[in-house]
């Protein structure tokens, strides 16, 4: 992965427009594919941390942000939302999901 400056952060596509509408002029650039992938990974960590810190009222919105980044990462890997769901469903069929709240503590 190519190194990138830690200055700046990956933002949603409409953020520059929103900044302009608020009367400021954003300074932006388009990341290379390698930088984009790296920044998406950073963003996933950021969004997961925000979800973990969220209260019950804001948790769904924070979780939606996590999902947005996951979908962008999947697309970057060439995997569409439908294909990602098929992969998820196949894993759930083969190994289960998390619906039963099972906690493993080791083997006897």
Q: Give the pLDDT band of residue 11 (cuts 50, 70, 90).
A: very high
* The pLDDT value given to residue 7: 86
Q: Is residue 25 part of a domain?
A: no
Q: What is the pLDDT of residues 63-107, one digit of tens each?
A: 999 999 999 999 999 999 999 999 999 999 999 999 999 999 999
Boundaries of domain holding 42? 33-94
Q: What is the pLDDT of residues 12-66, one digit of tens each?
A: 999 999 999 999 999 999 999 999 999 999 999 999 999 999 999 999 999 999 9
* The pLDDT value given to residue 5: 53
Q: Phi and psi (nearest 5°) for 44?
A: -60, -45
Is 11 exposed, middle or buried (CB count within 10 Å of its CB: 0-12, 13-18, 19+)? middle
Q: Is residue 100 part of a domain?
A: no
DSSP character at residue 47: H
Q: Is residue 107 part of a domain?
A: no
Q: Is residue 51 part of a domain?
A: yes
* The pLDDT value given to residue 107: 97
Give the number of domains in the chain: 1
Q: Is residue 101 part of a domain?
A: no
Q: Give the pLDDT band of residue 2 (cuts 50, 70, 90).
A: very low
Q: Is residue 42 part of a domain?
A: yes
Q: Is residue 77 part of a domain?
A: yes
């Amino acid at each position: 992965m190519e190194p990138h400056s830690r200055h700046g952060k990956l933002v949603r596509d409409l953020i520059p427009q929103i900044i302009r509408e608020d009367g400021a002029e954003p300074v932006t650039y388009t990341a290379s594919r390698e930088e984009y992938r790296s920044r998406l990974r950073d963003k996933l960590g950021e969004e997961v941390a925000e979800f973990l810190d969220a209260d019950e009222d804001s948790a769904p919105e924070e979780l939606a942000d996590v999902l947005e980044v996951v979908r962008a990462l999947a697309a970057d890997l060439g995997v569409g939302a439908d294909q990602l769901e098929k992969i998820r469903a196949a894993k759930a069929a083969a190994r289960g999901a998390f619906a039963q709240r099972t906690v493993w503590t080791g083997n006897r």
